[in-house]
Amino acid sequence: MNLPKAISLLKIISGEIDEFFNTTGQIIVARSTDVYDFARRNKAIKKEFPTAALFGHFLKTMHQQGILRQIIGNCNVDVSNPKFYQWRFYRKEIKAPTAQHSESVTPTAKYFKSGRNIATNDGGAVRSHQEQYIYNRLLEEDGLKFYYERPFEIKGYNKIPDFTILVIKSQIVYHWEHFGMIEDPTYEVYAEKKIQWYFDLGYRFLENGGRFIVTYYRNDQALQDDVERILKLINSPKI
């Protein structure tokens, strides 16, 4: 991509970031996936970046070339994992936090709570359309109680899984992580490390009789099939 086109796209993205914050109330911090979910309504963005992975790769390239912050100053990036950059965008009136000798920014509980902008059927909100589908499907299950991004502590470690599910009859609790950009090799590395964290603490997959659920997005039909399979296993008296 030539430089004039790249700068033009960055200006469009900058405008979409401003519009995102103008239309999302009290949200002060957003991830790249939050921005992408909002900005893809723009025809130029959707055409140039049909997937969130391509959008993230563009941001990474612009950052490495020293161009990004010249156009989008209200952002910060965690580069502690060179294969998986983590982006944070801020309202322009909020100064982006920095850390000495590092661009790493640790998200706070407030960030996790406020970064949701995809509406659910019960009036709640999630971060992506894929999570929206899972959430709405869980609403249909009478025997389950579930929570979205509910923090929990285990062996001195804190974690915020995408979904926490309680089977009312058995009182069994499951933790569910959904990975939505698995076609991106760098995201796959991130997913593997996150899964290993659970394994290191003794978790086992639901399919192996454990209480840990993982789904990957391949396409809409595959996601729907996975959700139905998982619900069947959760509701099975053998589990």
- Whether residue 239 lies inside any domain: the answer is no
Residue 26 has pLDDT above 60, yes or no: no
- Whether residue 111 lies inside any domain: the answer is no
Q: Are 192 and 158 in contact (CB under 8 A)?
A: no
> At which of 41, 73, 106 does a domain end?
106
* Averaged confidence pLDDT in the chain: 80
For 169, the enclosing helix (H) or strand (E) is none
150 and 130, same structural domain? yes
Taking phi over 0 as left and psi of -120 to 50 as alpha, with beta for the rest, 100 belongs to beta
- Average pLDDT value for residue range 114-120: 72
- Whether residue 165 lies inside any domain: the answer is yes
> At which of 74, 106, 138 does a domain end?
106
76 to each of 97, 186, 227, how far by Cα in Å?
A: 8, 19, 35
pLDDT at res. 213: 94
58 and 77, same structural domain? yes
Structural domains in the chain (count)? 2
pLDDT at res. 137: 94
- Average pLDDT value for residue range 3-9: 87
88 and 127, same structural domain? no
pLDDT at res. 113: 33
- Average pLDDT value for residue range 190-210: 86
> At which of 106, 125, 150 does a domain end?
106
- Whether residue 177 lies inside any domain: the answer is yes
For residue range 35-75, list pLDDT tens digits in order: 888 888 888 898 999 888 888 889 888 888 888 888 888 88
Rounded to two decimals, the pTM is: 0.53
- Domain of 8 in residue numbering reads as 3-106
pLDDT interval class at 76 (50, 70, 90): confident
224 and 132, same structural domain? yes
pLDDT at res. 111: 29
Task: Single out the residue of 31, 150, 16, 17 nearest to residue 86, CA to CA.
Answer: 31
DSSP state of 236: -
